[in-house]
Structure 1
Amino acid sequence: MDLKAPWMSRCDRRRWRSARTISDLGELMALWLEGQIASRPGYQPRYGPEDETTHLVPTLAALCRAGYVTTCSQPGLADTGADGLWWEQRAAVELLVTDPMRFHRLVDAAHAADLAVRINDYRPGGGVHQEPVIVTTRDDEAMTAFGGRISRADMAMQWRGLDRDLYREVSTGIYVSVIAPEYGTSGERLWGVLGFLTGQRHNEPAAPCASSTQPIDPTCS
């Protein structure tokens, strides 16, 4: 991917451009989450994570370093917004996964905990593209959703400035959205469920076969 990213500082642009592997990309995303890099591809320049996600940073950064590159997330909450209206959110995260075993482990853990999962598979030859899930409402009106197909233009913008070979890998990976079924803070249990993937939690949930893992391999691995 040879698009320039003039909206980044030269130093940040060079760091993202130097990434060659998913591990490299995960480390850079973790550093951005932790405030050590000012800008990231596909996001407002020189702007870090939203304040509401501050408490999620340790988990999100650990996921990135464990091979699950987080691209978007929000906490579970229910409260009156600055506009005086009632806002409700489901805890949710979208992750890029390119390793089949990591994919199985993530989806199986989410299903074992009765979390919603949406898969969008961009591998050559076509794959599963599941419908998005509403995750934020404003006075009961749907506002935002997680999951759903990413257009080619949006994919290019999301990863603008990456090395061509790495862009090819991320644009043909699998994007998994994991979403708490409940609105509000009770949905924050999602982060504990994902914690075992990073070593933050040592008791792994039961992992039954999950039908949504079939785009990779029809058998449990």
Structure 2
Amino acid sequence: MKMSHADTRRWESARTLADIGQLTALWLEGQIKSQPGYEPGWGPDTETLPLVPTLAALCRAGYVTTNSQPGESGRGADGRWYEQKAAAEGFVSDPGLYRRLVTAAGSAGLTVAGGTQVIVTTCNGRPYTAFGGVLGARDMQAQWSVLNRGAFAELTSAMPLTIAAPEYGEAGQRMWRVLSSMVGR
């Protein structure tokens, strides 16, 4: 399935990282059906729905999130034991906002990474999923191919930022309160 013509036009119209953040917020809130890098016509995962207000506010404030998850633990459909840290990754172009996010997260004891990987999910006690790291130009182009050249350049020159709870499971959900307070929610 391809992204609808209307959604493609909206994403092509983005000129800045702020525009990308606004469109991402609209996608999170269900007002746009598709986002670059996701299956066309699909919105956020069910586990993400309680996080949408905070994620949308972060995107509008300038921290454009590209991936997130709640802190939870339990058996998966496959019977294996999974533990997730509450985590978000994305991009920030404003150095002041970047410093405020890093300072607030660090003061709250959260893990902050600006281009290195952080293990955020384990399966049966072994690393399973990581957030962060730096995507190569080819991977960025594949994920964000619908953006015009200027918006893509702004996205790729933005600072990567991953924020994660240090603990797995429900206790890590405190991360979302910290980030909510940063954007006045």
Q: TM-score, normalised by structure 1?
A: 0.81
Aligned pair partner of 2:136 in 144, 151, 165: 151
Residue aligning to 2:56? 61
Structure 1 residue runs of 4+, over 2 Å off?
A: none
Residue aligning to 1:47? 42
Which structure's CA Rg is the greater one? 1
Q: Is the counterpart of residue 24 in structure 1 residue 19 in structure 2?
A: yes
Q: Which segments of 5 or more consecutive residues in structure 1 lack a partner in the other structure?
A: 1-5, 121-129, 201-221
How far apart are the structure 2 equivalents of 1:25 and 1:135? 25
Q: Is the counterpart of residue 35 in structure 1 residue 52 in structure 2?
A: no
Question: 1:95 Cα deviation (Å)?
Answer: 2.1
Q: Which segments of 5 or more consecutive residues in structure 2 lack a partner in the other structure?
A: none
Residue aligning to 1:142? 127
Question: 1:142 Cα deviation (Å)?
Answer: 1.4
How far apart are the structure 2 equivalents of 1:134 and 1:47? 26
Q: Is the counterpart of residue 186 in structure 1 residue 163 in structure 2?
A: no
Question: 1:196 Cα deviation (Å)?
Answer: 2.0
Q: CA RMSD in A?
A: 1.1
Question: 1:103 Cα deviation (Å)?
Answer: 0.6
How far apart are the structure 1 equivalents of 2:9 and 2:159? 26
Aligned length: 185
| SS of alignment partner, residue 87 of structure 1 | strand
Q: TM-score, normalised by structure 2?
A: 0.97
Q: Is the 8 A contact 2:72 2:85 kept in 1?
A: yes
Residue aligning to 1:86? 81
Identity among equivalent pairs (%): 54
Superposed CA deviations along residues 129-164 of structure 1, whole A, max 9, x for unmatched, are x3x111111111211001112111111122121111
Aligned residue runs from structure 1 range 104-119, under 5 A: 104-119=99-114
How far apart are the structure 2 equivalents of 1:103 and 1:93? 14
